[in-house]
Amino acid sequence: MRSGVIAQKVGMTRIFTDAGEHVPVTVLKLEKLQVLSQRTAEKNGYTAIQVGAGTRRPSRLTKADRGTFAVAQVEPKRKLAEFRVSPENLIEVGAEITADHFVAGQFVDVTGTSQGKGFQGAMKRWNFAGLRATHGVSVSHRSHGSTGQRQDGSKGGWVVVRDAVKKKAHADAPKPGAFKPANREKA
């Protein structure tokens, strides 16, 4: 198992194939994605790496979080995630994971959170007309039927991208991953 990445959604666009067909794509940005710590089977009982992306002001952190970033010798990160990896795919602390981590044609699993708005009724949220007032409709006048699935999150949201679980691993995917080694000159 390889690690995944944390990316920020920039927006959506489309690309055209050689045949002239358009394919909708989501544009993601990797922003200073660095390895913060390693979890090992001897010390923690499992093998994983913790990564962080984005930047955050140190004044907005707790003392414990400041200590975590100081040990890793990296600047504070906005978003953190942990990826289980096999022992041979551990990446050194401080290394910056790059976009070459995934290759063209590779299947990935993407997990993200859309913007939460709390509960809204269908009539208020989407201006639905509601159901009939009579003829068998008794309690659910302001309800709605099936409205389809909301299939996109919001711009600026954070997503986690991993290798696909239900597809075979891509042969050209770099192992343990594509990254720039840690620069340990300045602490």
As a whole number of angstroms, the distance between CA 160 and CA 126 comes to 29
- The pair of structure tokens assigned to 89 is 């795919």
51, 27: one domain: yes
Q: Does this model's pTM top 0.75?
A: no
**8 Å CB contact between 5 and 176:** no
Q: How many domains would you assign to the chain?
A: 2
Which structural domain range is residue 136 located in?
A: 118-149
Q: Given this model, what pLDDT does residue 118 score?
A: 73
What CATH number does the domain containing 23 carry? 3.30.160.810
Question: Do 52 and 33 form a contact (C-beta atoms < 8 A)?
Answer: yes
Chain segment 142-154, per-residue pLDDT in tens: 777 666 655 557 7
Residues 66 and 142 in one domain: no
